[in-house]
Structure 1
Amino acid sequence: MDSKTFVYTTYIRTTPERLWQALTDSAFTERYWGVGFDSDWKKGSPLVWKQGGATMADPEQIVLVSDPYRQLSYTWHSFTDEWARAVGIAEDVQAQIAVERRSNVTFDLEPQGDQVKLTVTHDFDPEGILHDMCSQGWPPILSSLKTLLETGEPLPAH
């Protein structure tokens, strides 16, 4: 096996259109994730991440798949010194993850009556430590996304 993969599935009482907006509109992503995005969300387009006052842009940071209301996939952000300082990542950890093969995340949206089945698949470098970090981070992010869409408020940040 040449990768580590994180897969998470949840069901959200919403529409595919509203969930797509929550995945691509910075006004939404900042509320439940604390991350903003700058992209036109077309295949091959750059994807600029904004988190904690840091901006991450890189030519390899792109949209891989953009099939509105069905599938979104992109490369994960670059692990810059600025990002690490902004979000409190230790220098030694930042140095380790910065040399890992860039990971990819995919969001699959499947309508199921008055809900949408959301499956998040994140593929990682099998030799790296990022898998463990993100595997701990995704569940609270996705729970907050679900709560925001179903109640109008994200979960409290912790």
Structure 2
Amino acid sequence: MKDTLSQPGGGRSALRLERRIAHSPEKVWQALTDPAELAHWFPSEVQVDLRAGGRMGFVFPGREAPDMEGVITELDPPHVFAFTWGEDQLRWELRPDGEGCLLTLTHTFGDRFGAASFASGWHACITALAALLDGEKAAPGDMAELHESYVEAFGLAEGAVETTEDGGWRLRFERQLVRPAETVWQALAGKTGAPPLIAGDPVPYGFRTDAVEAGPITEAEAPRTLAYTWKREGRPAGQVHWHLTEGTGHGARLILTQTGPPNTEADRTAALTSWRHHITLLAAKLLRMRG
């Protein structure tokens, strides 16, 4: 098993998964291209006109996500099957390997921070594909745990540092989470059944870190937004902003930013390290919660 994430350019990311399948390319090809077999392991129902340039349709169970369309961009039986999947590109390649074959999936997409969701989803799909070919049924695994392992493996837990127009700085963390916004907000705000947070309230511990002195809340809208001014030597120094938005469908997407003034590199470095650790602890807490 070999899974990698790269950035080929143009703001796109490429997820590559390799798996050895104990069946011939011809048998695997059938499972990749026959809608009746795809129904057992692919994440949507598939309609396909199996020819180069042929149209494809993707209908999701219960219509939990919008229907999508695609076009076959490469077809070389039984070796390459590539097609667009909405705005993404999927390329399946089969190469003989002893009595079986090596399956390589390359998924190219624009949402880099969704990579862990895509990887864990395709991991489960390919596991189900292999089980189907073996005449078995794949045992359900812990998708949340798998998701978090991909976050770390792909470096998606790291924050970014930007320079602002006034010469100051902005830290930015973006992370796909495994629970919905309501569950994440509960984990951050702490007490259940407490009055809603409002401007002027002290910042709950879940929304702050010891490296950043928090002033009172300046904005709060459960379960989406919380902001406050942070202080340096007792004076306002910048803003901390938490935002929970829609993600990949596996949970909420967290975007955390903190701004700071020029010539405060030590504060910036301490905050970057501290927020990274803080969000990692939040993600671990969410694994223990149900939502």
Tell me which interval the TM-score lies in, with the shorter structure as reference length. Answer: 0.7 to 0.9
1:56-75 alignment to 2 at 5 Å?
Answer: 56-58=67-69, 61-75=70-84
Change (3 A) 1:47 1:32: same
What SS does the corresponding residue of 1:146 show, helix, strand or coil? helix
Output the CA distance in 2 between the equivalents of 1:4 and 1:75.
Answer: 15
Output the CA distance in 1 between the equivalents of 2:51 and 2:79.
Answer: 14
- Say yes or no: does 1:50 pair with 2:35: no
Name 1:12's counterpart in structure 2. 21
1:135 counterpart (110, 119, 127) = 119
CA deviation profile, 1:17-51 (whole Å, cap 9, x unmatched): 11111011122111123522111221111101122
What SS does the corresponding residue of 1:62 show, helix, strand or coil? strand
Gaps of 5+ in 2: 1-6, 142-291
Name 1:147's counterpart in structure 2. 131
Q: State the Cα RMSD in Å.
A: 1.9
- Say yes or no: does 1:24 pair with 2:33: yes
> What is the one-letter code of the residue matched to 2:42?
W
Residues 10 and 119, structure 1, Cα contact 8 Å, conserved in 2: yes
2:92 counterpart (107, 114, 117) = 107
Output the CA distance in 2 between the equivalents of 1:17 and 1:36.
Answer: 22
Residues 32 and 154, structure 1, Cα contact 8 Å, conserved in 2: no
Gaps of 5+ in 1: 78-101
Residues 145 and 154, structure 1, Cα contact 8 Å, conserved in 2: no
Residues 143 and 155, structure 1, Cα contact 8 Å, conserved in 2: yes
- Greater relative contact order, per chain length (Cα 8 Å cut-off, separation 6+): 1
Once superposed, which parts of structure 1, at least 4 consecutive aligned residues long, lie more than 3 Å away?
127-130
Change (3 A) 1:57 1:140: closer
Output the CA distance in 2 between the equivalents of 1:33 and 1:57.
Answer: 14
Output the CA distance in 1 between the equivalents of 2:75 and 2:132.
Answer: 23
1:93-104 alignment to 2 at 5 Å?
Answer: 102-104=87-89
The structure where helix makes up a greater share of residues is 1
Output the CA distance in 2 between the equivalents of 1:43 and 1:155.
Answer: 32
CA deviation profile, 1:65-117 (whole Å, cap 9, x unmatched): 1111100101113xxxxxxxxxxxxxxxxxxxxxxxx1101011001121010
Output the CA distance in 2 between the equivalents of 1:9 and 1:128.
Answer: 19
Residues 22 and 99, structure 2, Cα contact 8 Å, conserved in 1: yes
Output the CA distance in 2 between the equivalents of 1:76 and 1:146.
Answer: 22
Structure-1-length-normalised TM-score: 0.73
Structure-2-length-normalised TM-score: 0.42
Output the CA distance in 2 between the equivalents of 1:5 and 1:34.
Answer: 19
